[in-house]
Structure 1
């Protein structure tokens, strides 16, 4: 088991380093891919697909050796700008371009290498936030519990899109508007499959959606704040993650520099605040960007400006994480994957 850490830099010099961390700490850094913002593993675990968040977005297929050594095998343009997410589903690779607004589909060969692009879905529209919503900004693709549909939250237009997937192509199924200026960024399904949680980057909230797996019907049914009452100042939630049993939902707050913990109730239909763990007192000092569970049951946080990955023990009774001093230094840490 290794932890793969992607890097992202706001500076003029892009982050270069897909770090591999083993049991003994940092194993090595693979520096060939600029701004490795997100990655996912093939079902075999032998290939890592990396999204490069650069003006001319790219996807990279990287061979993973047993000892964690990475060797790039293939690279292709992602047909757009700012590639921020990759998904392997049903023999295909789906890449999401945040800056230019596309979902791009690549078939995967028997050797797990991506073939030529077979479909490009281009979003249109904008939102009221003049800084963050001048155009479409899809942020991820998420399979529904049946595998026959993919959901795409679009931060730039405030829509959550549902696409049908027939094994070869995507086609529009439905869409739900999550609120003017909300900026939906990431989503996760409740284990029951009938509720979906969408974190809204521009208003610091989580929208609760109802979902009917048989028909793909989607609707909003509630919301919860990611900040405590009375909190002020800039904040932009990033990652959203459920506990393994679905009892708690965790949200990383950039600006408030905290992890919000929401208790999941009523079969997934209700979220109630359980607490917050502050990671830093000064805005932008830590910037928690991603969350992931490790095999030991710890909640790991990628802290971009702090340049650390921080594993946090979690109280099994309350679901609340606790601070630790076990931080691993990783420059510009912005994404985590265990595999």
Structure 2
């Protein structure tokens, strides 16, 4: 949906995040100053949230499950963010742990993806944006693939894209293939209209996708391959093979697992892409547990204006572990990376604390990032699991 995040006086705008079941609203100004202004308890831990900026509504997907845990209590909450944050209706029960949510382009339906089990649900919204009813719920690998991680509306159509990461092979089982799946939702039926799965989806693990704002290109972060792939798009259909794939790691020869590619954002001007390298591996260092040496950074790509090819122009290190979410704010002038957990690292001066929180970076005219500030967020034994501004390409 078009629009910007709800704003405040003096050039500030709202920024949202969640620690456990605590939904937090911040004020963020153009100079990168951030302050907490409100918080609201959700039914259980926040997994993801989707902003409708036109109606100043936040759809909050919650669960007592987590990474690798299904949980047994799952809810969808609707929060008004036009003034004091407040619940607008009784939270709605969901069938599984929700992992991602998005609005369709018209703002008439809410789309929710689930990973365990792989599933998709679509919910009709009334004229005020309230959840009216569940249009349908679908499961089964033939339709929704393996490990859906994201759902997006396809620009220029009423179809949706389900980004399915798949799973690496383990001692317990073989690899599950990844795929990009385009579905059409008509009345109460979901129909698969396209599957993109290079090499049958083996060695292909897309986690997050983003459509270019003006050109027929789509970008996919390949979590399991630590790479960014670019696909041509023609008449709503994604090319069967990527036009190009670019590695994201500075030192792919010395990976400290888990080493994962993560969140993806395109700049509103369509000239740059930002993708995350994330790791949370730690090792003992005397009485401390310190970084194992994995790459935690944001990779900046310049997007060729003629071909769409991403060219890596900068890798900006993050001073903390595992940025699960990034968001572009202030009309494309700032990028905020949400570092999921508190950590420690070994430096020449000794062991340094690295608090969870927000790394705030200035976006230059050339697309490159310059650090401005780090705002620590106390998470205790929890995690800063979700954050967003409402200005990214998913809204």
Structure 1 length-normalised TM: 0.85
Corresponding residue for residue 105 of structure 1: 122
1:77 positional shift: 2.5
Q: Give SS of 2:149's match.
A: coil
The question of whether the paired residues in 2 share the 8 Å contact of 1:237 and 1:253 is answered with yes
Pick the aligned partner of 2:372 from 320, 324, 327: 324
Q: Which moved more, 1:173-182 or 1:254-263?
A: 173-182
Corresponding residue for residue 298 of structure 1: 334
Give the aligned CA root-mean-square deviation in angstroms: 2.3
Corresponding residue for residue 338 of structure 1: 389
- Residue 248 to residue 46, structure 1, CA distance change in 2 (3 Å): closer
Corresponding residue for residue 173 of structure 2: none
Alignment of 1:88-237 (within 5 A): 88-89=103-104, 90=106, 91-124=108-141, 136-156=146-166, 157-166=177-186, 169-178=189-198, 179-212=201-234, 214-220=235-241, 221-229=243-251, 230-234=253-257, 235-237=259-261
Corresponding residue for residue 302 of structure 2: 263
Question: In the aligned structure 2, how far is the partner of 1:56 from the partner of 1:267?
Answer: 49
Question: In the aligned structure 1, how far is the partner of 2:298 from the partner of 2:53?
Answer: 30
Structure 2 length-normalised TM: 0.74
1:42 positional shift: 2.9
1:217 positional shift: 4.5
Confirm or deny that 1:248 pairs with 2:272. Answer: yes
The question of whether the paired residues in 1 share the 8 Å contact of 2:42 and 2:77 is answered with no
1:32 positional shift: 2.4
Structure 1, unaligned stretches of length 5 or more?
Answer: 8-14, 126-134
Q: How many residues align?
A: 316
Q: Give SS of 1:324's match.
A: strand
Corresponding residue for residue 18 of structure 2: 6
Corresponding residue for residue 27 of structure 2: 22
Corresponding residue for residue 283 of structure 2: none
Question: In the aligned structure 2, how far is the partner of 1:46 from the partner of 1:192?
Answer: 25
The question of whether the paired residues in 1 share the 8 Å contact of 2:42 and 2:62 is answered with no
The question of whether the paired residues in 2 share the 8 Å contact of 1:83 and 1:96 is answered with yes
Question: In the aligned structure 2, how far is the partner of 1:147 from the partner of 1:6?
Answer: 32
Structure 2, unaligned stretches of length 5 or more?
Answer: 1-6, 8-13, 29-33, 66-70, 167-176, 280-294, 343-355, 391-395
Greater Rg by CA: 2
The question of whether the paired residues in 1 share the 8 Å contact of 2:325 and 2:388 is answered with no
Question: In the aligned structure 2, how far is the partner of 1:253 from the partner of 1:302?
Answer: 13
Q: Following TM superposition, where does structure 1 have runs of at least 4 consecutive aligned residues deviating by more than 6 angstroms? A: none
